A and B are shown apart, each in its own frame.
Chain A
Amino acid sequence: MKVMVVDIAIVGAGGAGLRAAIAAAEADPALNIVLVSKVYPMRSHTVAAEGGSAGVTQRHDSLEHHFNDTVTGGEWLCDQDVVDYFVAHCTEEMVRLEHWGCPWSRLADGHVNVRAFGGMKIERTWFAADKTGFHILHTLFQTSIKYPAITRLDEHFCTALVVDDGRCYGVVAIDISSGEFTFVAAKAVVIATGGAGRVFLQNTNGGIVTGDGMAMVYRHGVALRDMEFVQYHPTCMPGSGLLFTEACRGEGGILTNKDGYRYLQDYGLGPPDPWPRNKAMELGPRDRLSQAFWHEERKGRTIATRNGAAVNLDLRHLGAKKLRERLPQICELAESFLGIDPAERPVPVRPAVHYTMGGILVNRETASTLTGLYAVGECSSIGIHGANRLGSNSLAELGVFGKVAGEAAARCARSLPPGPMATLKKQADDVRRRAVDLIRNEAGGERLAVLRDAMAQSMETGCGIYRLDAQMKQTCHTLAELKNRYRRLRLDDTSRAWNTEWLAAIELGYQLDVAQAMAHSAFARKESRGAHSRLDGFEQRDDANFLKHTLAVYRADGPPAISYMPVNITRSAPGKRAYGAEGEHLEGYRKEQTQGTNP
C-alpha cells in the first residue's frame, strides 16, 4: 500500500481539525501537515451548527460569569481548571475568526452583536445569522488554503490507528474513490472526528457523525470518558430530527403544549414573564427542557404528528421581518420540510439527540494517554461540558482547543523521532486485511441497515432522555448481541471503488463500540446528573458517590470495563442548578452570602 510520511496527521477536517491544522502551520510552517477527511471539509458536520459561539464581550459580563454558567450547566462534572482556560480564550478565538473573515452579525455601530442563549445568564453568544457553524467552517476551510504546509487527503476514510509500544504512529486510510489503502505515517496524530449521535434513532446529526475517531482510539486502550452524557436538543423536527436552533428561543420563541400552555413553568423553570428575559423559561438548559417534554408526553399533553409527539415552537409574535433577518435558515427549514411559515403558524418540535458530551479522554493540552495522539472537538472529553453542555460552548471549543491541539502536535512532531517503519507497515497491512475482510457476500448473512436500525432503536429506548435500570440492561444485552451478528454481516456491494456500503459497515462497527461504552457507562452511574437522568430510584444527584468522571475501557471479548476518575473542582462547589425565577432568587441569596451586609 501507499505510504505517506508526514509530521502531523489530523483526522477530520471540521472546525476543530481545520483550526488545529492552521495552528500547527502557524507554529511551524516547515512542518508537513496532512488533513485526512472522509468527506470534503465543507461537508463536515460543523456546517450544521446554527445558533452561535460564546465569548465574553459585554462590559457587564465577565469570565467568572461564563465560568459559572458553564460549570453549573455541566452540573459540576466539569474540570474547572480547563473551564478557566476555556473561558479566558473564547473571545480571542472569536476575534481571530472575525479577522479571518467570519461574517458575524453586527450592531449598527459595526461591533459584533451577541445574543442570549440557553443556560447563559448574560448574552455572550456571537452569531452569524442562524448559520454560525456554516460560516465558521467555511471561514476556517478557506483560510486553511493560505498555508502551503497543509495538504489534504479529501474523501479518505480512516479505518484504524497504527500504534506500537504506547505510541501512535499514524493512521490507515482508504481512498474512497478507488478503495485503495494509504498508510499515513505521522509523528503526531490529532483526532478531530466529531461526535456519535447517529447511534440514536432521532438525531440532528448528519450521516457522517458515527464516532469513528472515538472507536479507533478506544480500540487501542484509550478510555472514553463520560459517554453516558448525550445531549438531547429540545427543539428538533419530528421524524428527521433536523435542528431548530436554540436561537429561536433566544430571539423570543416560546414552547407551548397542545393546550397552548407554556408548560415549562410546571418544571421549575418559570415564571413565564414577558420577553426579553435571559433567565426566562425557554432559555433554560437543554437537559431540563428535554426532560420537560418527556413528562408532557407521558401526561398526554403533547401534539400528535405524523412523526410522533411534538410541542409547538411559537415564533409568530416575532413578526415576519425579524424572523427573516435573524432566523432566515429556520424559516427555510420550516417551509421546505414542513410547509410551515413560522410567522403564520407554530412549528412542531421535539427533542432529538444532538451532541456527545463524552469522548476520548484527554488532558488540558488535548493529549491522550497514547504518546503522539491528541484529540479535540466533540470527539474528545477535555472537561468543559461536564454532564450537560451549554449551547454555543462547543463552537467556541473548536477554536480554543483546536489551537491548543495544533500547537501541541507541532511541538510533539518536532521533538519525537520517527517510528520503526517495518513493524508499522506490517501493522498497517493487518489493518488493511481486516478491513477488506468485511467485503463479504456470503448467503444468510445479516443486512447492514437491519443491525443499524436495531442499535438505534435500542439506544433510543434504553439511553433516552430518562433511563431505567431494566431498559439499560436490555440495551447492553442487545448491543452485545448485535456485535455478534455484525460478525456475520453480508454486503451487497463487493466492489472497491466508491463502495459506500463497505464504509457504512465499518462505521457500524465504530458505532456499536461507542454505543456499548455509552450504555454501560449509563448503567453504572447510579444517580441523575445533567443529561443522564434516571427514574428508577436514582432520581437525585449523588455528589458523595458520583462526583467523578466515568471511564469506559475497551475489552476485546466483552463489554467495556467501567472505572472512575476524579473531577477537578477548584472554586465552584456543587450547588443547586436553578433557572428562571428560582435561579434569580438563588443568585440573590448567593450574593448576600458572599458580600455580607457591607455594600
Chain B
Amino acid sequence: MIAAEWAAKRRVTVEVLRYRPEQDADPSLQAYDIPYTEGMSVLQALQHIKDHIDGTLSFRWSCRMAICGSCGMMIGGKPQLACQTILRAGEDRPLRIEPLKHFAIERDLVVTMSGFISKLESIFPFIIPKTSRATTEGEYLQTPAQLARFENFSDCINCMLCYAACPQFGENPDFLGPGVFALLQRYNGDSRDGGRERRMELVHSEDGAWSCTAVGYCSDVCPKHVDPANAVNQNKTNSAVDFFFRFLPRRRSPEREA
C-alpha cells in the first residue's frame, strides 16, 4: 500500500517478538505504533512496519490469500495465518505477534522448518501405484466418492499451525505430527495408491500415531479444514488392527482387490 494512503486517524499498537541471531542473546518484545485502517490484516501491519518503520523485521509471506502457507505465526496466543487474520483496533492490550510455538526461532518471526520438511519427505508422500498404467491409456478412474475419501487431507498447505497447536509435539519434537499424518492419510486413502504397507512402519512407531493423545486442537486451528486429528487417530485404529493381525498369514487387503 502507498504510504500516502496511511492517512488514517486511528492508530494501534502491536508487540512483536524479535530475535536477531547476530546480536541478541534472547528474544524480546518490541512495540510498534502503526496507522490502522479497518479490515487490514496482521500481514499488512507487519508489512507497514517493515516498509516504513523498521526494515529489520523479518517474516515469511507470499500469496496473501492463505494458500501458500508461509505466514503462520502466533497471533494473540493462537496459531494463525497473518494474511487472513484481521487486526482489531480499540483493544485494551496490544496484539502480541510471536513466531510459531514449538519451533526454534531462526530470526524474528521465522522458525526452522527443516524438521517438518524431513518428516514430510520420509512418509513416501507420492503415489505408489496399485496397478501400472501408461499415459497413453488415459487417466485412472476415480469416482467423486473415492475422491471425497481423501480430498480434505490433500488440502494441507503445510503451514504448520497444527504443530504449534499440538502439545504432544511440543513435548516430543520427533512426533511425526498432524500435518505429516494428513499427507500420509491423503495417500493411504487415495484409491490409486498401493503404498499403505510401506507407510505403516512410520505409523506404528512411538513417534507415529501413538504420540498423539487426541487433544484435537490441531484440527481447530487448521485454516483449510484438513482435520489432521482425524488423520492421526484413524491410524491408531489401523495400527492396532495391524498389530493384532500380524501373526496371521499375509492376507490380501481389500484395497489390493480393487
Touching chains A and B, CB distance < 8 Å: yes
A43-B159 Cα distance, complex, nearest whole Å = 10
Tell me the count of chain A residues lying within 8 A, CB to CB, of chain B: 64
Closest chain A residue to B44, Cβ basis = A240
Closest Cβ–Cβ distance, residue A360 to chain B (whole Å):
22
A565–B107 alpha-carbon span in the complex (Å): 48
Contacts of A336 in B (CB 8 A): 66, 84
Which residues between 7 and 54 of chain A lie within 8 Å of chain B, taking CB atoms?
Answer: 39-40, 42-45, 47-48
Residues of the B chain whose Cβ atoms lie less than 8 Å from the Cβ of A447: 51-52
The answer for the CA separation of A491 and B52 in the assembled complex, in Å, is 11
5 contacts between A and B (CB under 8 A): A40-B117, A207-B61, A208-B62, A449-B52, A498-B108
Q: State whether A100 touches B126 (Cβ < 8 A).
A: yes
Q: Mark B131-147, 1 if CB is under 8 A from A, else 0.
A: 00101101111111011
Choose one: B50, B106, B125, B140; the contact of A142 (CB below 8 Å): B125
Chain A residues within 8 Å of B64, by CB: 206-207, 240, 242
Contact B141 A333 (CB under 8 A): no
> Which of B21, B66, B69 interacts with A42 by CB under 8 Å?
B69
With both beta carbons as reference points, the residue of chain A lying nearest to B135 in the complex is identified as: A95
Q: Is there an interface contact between A142 and B84, defined as CB atoms closer than 8 Å? A: no
Asked if A497 CB lies within 8 Å of chain B CBs, one says yes
Taking the complex as formed, is A421 at the interface, i.e. its CB lies under 8 A from any CB of chain B? no
Contact B67–A48 (Cβ < 8 Å): yes
By Cβ-Cβ distance, the 9 closest A-B pairs, closest first, are: A492-B55, A110-B141, A449-B51, A498-B107, A206-B62, A101-B127, A501-B55, A493-B56, A206-B63
Residues of B within 8 A of A143 (CB): 126-127
Compute how far the CA of A104 lies from the CA of B158 in the bound complex, rounded to whole angstroms. Answer: 20
Whether the pair B127, A100 counts as a contact (CB closer than 8 A) is yes
Q: Which residue of B lies closest to A242 (CB)?
A: B65
Q: Which residues of chain B from 149 to 184 have a CB within 8 Å of any chain A CB?
A: 150-151, 154-155, 157-158, 183
Q: Which residue of B lies closest to A503 (CB)?
A: B58
Bitwise, A105-141 to B at CB < 8 A (1) or not (0) is 1101111100000000000000001010011001000
A271 in the interface, Cβ–Cβ < 8 Å? no
Indicate if the CB atoms of B157 and A42 lie closer than 8 Å: yes
- Let me know if A92 and B135 touch, CB within 8 A: yes
A2 within 8 Å of B by Cβ?
no
Not counting A43-B60, A495-B56, a sample of 4 additional A-B residue pairs whose C-beta atoms are within 8 angstroms of each other reads: A48-B63, A99-B127, A103-B150, A457-B2
B154 touches A43 (CB 8 A): no
Instruction: Tell whether, in the assembled complex, residue A40 and residue B113 are in contact, meaning their CB atoms are under 8 Å apart.
Output: yes
Q: Does A345 contact B (CB under 8 A)?
A: no
A98 at the interface (CB under 8 A from B): yes
Q: Is A496 an interface residue (CB 8 A)?
A: yes
A332 CA to B154 CA, complexed, in Å: 17
> Quick check: B69 and A43 within 8 Å, CB to CB?
yes
Chain A's closest residue to B155 (CB) is: A131
Residues A453 and B62 in contact in the complex (CB < 8 Å), given A47-B67, A48-B68, A501-B56: no
B140 cross-chain contacts in A, Cβ below 8 A: 98-99
Which of chain A's residues has its CB closest to B156's CB? A138
B190 within 8 Å of A (CB atoms) = yes
Residue A298 is within 8 A (CB to CB) of chain B in the complex: no
User: Does A499 make an interface contact (CB < 8 A)?
Assistant: yes
Closest-by-CB residue of A relative to B19 is A498
Indicate whether A449 sits within 8 Å of B147 (C-beta atoms), given known contacts A206-B68, A496-B22, A499-B58. Answer: no
Check B239 for interface membership: any CB of A closer than 8 A: no
Which single member of A106, A134, A449 contacts B144 (CB below 8 Å)? A106
B196 contacts the other chain (Cβ, under 8 Å)? Answer: no
By a CB distance below 8 angstroms, the chain B residues around A138 are 154
Q: Cβ of A498 and Cβ of B58 under 8 Å apart?
A: yes
| Cα-based distance from A495 to B110 in the complex (angstroms) | 15
Given B69, B107, B155, which contacts A497 in the complex, CB threshold below 8 Å?
Answer: B107
Q: Does A145 contact B (CB under 8 A)?
A: yes
Contact of A145 among B61, B84, B121, B190 (CB under 8 A): B121
Contact A497 B22 (CB under 8 A): yes
Most-contacted residue by chain A among B67, B68, B106, B193 (CB, 10 A): B67
A110 in contact with B143 given A134-B67, A207-B62 (CB within 8 Å): yes
Looking at the assembled complex, report how far the CB atom of B128 sits from the nearest CB atom of chain A, in whole angstroms.
Answer: 9
Is the pair A101, B192 in contact by a Cβ cutoff of 8 Å? yes
Contact B141 A111 (CB under 8 A): yes
In the complex, A572 has a CB within 8 A of chain B: no
**A366 shortest CB reach to chain B, Å:** 21
Which residues does chain B contribute within 8 Å of A48, judged by CB atoms?
A: 63, 65, 67-68
Known A-B contacts A138-B154, A240-B64, A492-B56; the reply to A112 vs B139 at CB < 8 A is yes
Q: What residues of B have a CB within 8 angstroms of the CB of A58 in the complex?
A: none
- Please state if A142 and B144 are interface contacts (CB–CB under 8 Å): no
Given A135-B154, A143-B126, A492-B56, verify A47-B147 contact (CB < 8 Å).
no
Instruction: Check if A501 sits within 8 Å of B139, measured CB to CB.
Output: no
Q: Is the beta-carbon distance between B52 and A42 smaller than 8 angstroms? A: no
CB-based contact B141/A103 at 8 Å: no
Q: Chain B contacts of A493 at CB under 8 A?
A: 55-56, 58
Docked pose: A66 CA to B136 CA in angstroms: 19
Q: What residue of chain B has the Cβ atom nearest to residue A338's Cβ? A: B39
Whole-angstrom distance between the Cβ of B247 and the nearest chain A Cβ:
33
Nearest Cβ on chain A to B102's Cβ, whole angstroms: 18
B70 at interface, CB cutoff 8 A: yes
A149 on the B face (CB < 8 A): no
- In the bound complex, residues from chain B placing their C-beta under 8 Å from that of A332 are 66
Judging by beta carbons under 8 Å apart, are A106 and B135 in contact? no
| A497–B21 touching, CB < 8 Å | yes
Are B58 and A453 within 8 A (Cβ)? no
Determine whether A448 belongs to the interface, using a CB cutoff of 8 Å to chain B.
yes
Is B220 in contact with chain A by the CB < 8 A criterion?
A: no
The answer to the question of A337 belonging to the interface, with a C-beta cut-off of 8 Å to chain B, is: yes
Asked if B20 is at the interface (CB within 8 A of a chain A CB), the reply is: yes
- Interface presence of A323 (CB below 8 A): no
Asked whether B126 lies within 8 Å of A142 as measured between CB atoms, the reply is yes
Q: Which residue of B lies closest to A497 (CB)?
A: B21
8 A Cβ contacts from B27-45 to A: 39
Given contacts A106-B144, A110-B143, A500-B58, contact A39 B2 (CB under 8 A): no
Query: Could you tell me the distance between the alpha carbons of A447 and B55 in the complex, rounded to whole angstroms?
Result: 9
Provide the A330-363 mask, 1 if CB < 8 A to any CB of B, else 0. 0011001100000000000000000000000000
Residues of A within 8 A of B51 (CB): 447-449
Set of chain B residues within 8 Å of A448, measured between Cβ atoms: 51, 55
When chains A and B are docked, how far (Å) is the Cα of A208 from the Cα of B107? 19
Which residues on the A side are within 8 Å of B133 (C-beta)? 99
Tell yes or no: B206 within 8 A of A by CB: no
B23 at the A interface (CB under 8 A): yes
Q: Is A329 an interface residue (CB 8 A)?
A: yes
Contact A243 B21, beta carbon cutoff 8 Å:
no
- Which residues of A have CB within 8 Å of B142? 106, 110
CB under 8 Å from chain B, chain A span 177-228: 177, 201, 206-208
A498 in contact with B54 (CB, 8 Å): no
Interface presence of A295 (CB below 8 A): no
Q: Quick one: closest B residue to A441, CB to CB?
A: B55
Contacts of A101 in B (CB 8 A): 126-127, 187, 190, 192-193
Query: How far does the alpha carbon of A143 sit from the alpha carbon of B128 in the complex, in Å?
Result: 10
What's the least CB distance linking A179 to chain B, in Å?
9
In the complex, the answer to whether B2 meets A453 with C-beta atoms within 8 Å is yes
Q: Tell me if B258 counts as interface (CB < 8 A to partner A).
A: no
A106 in contact with B143 (CB, 8 Å)? yes
Assess the B58–A43 pair: CB atoms within 8 A: no
Cα(A134)–Cα(B65), bound, Å: 12
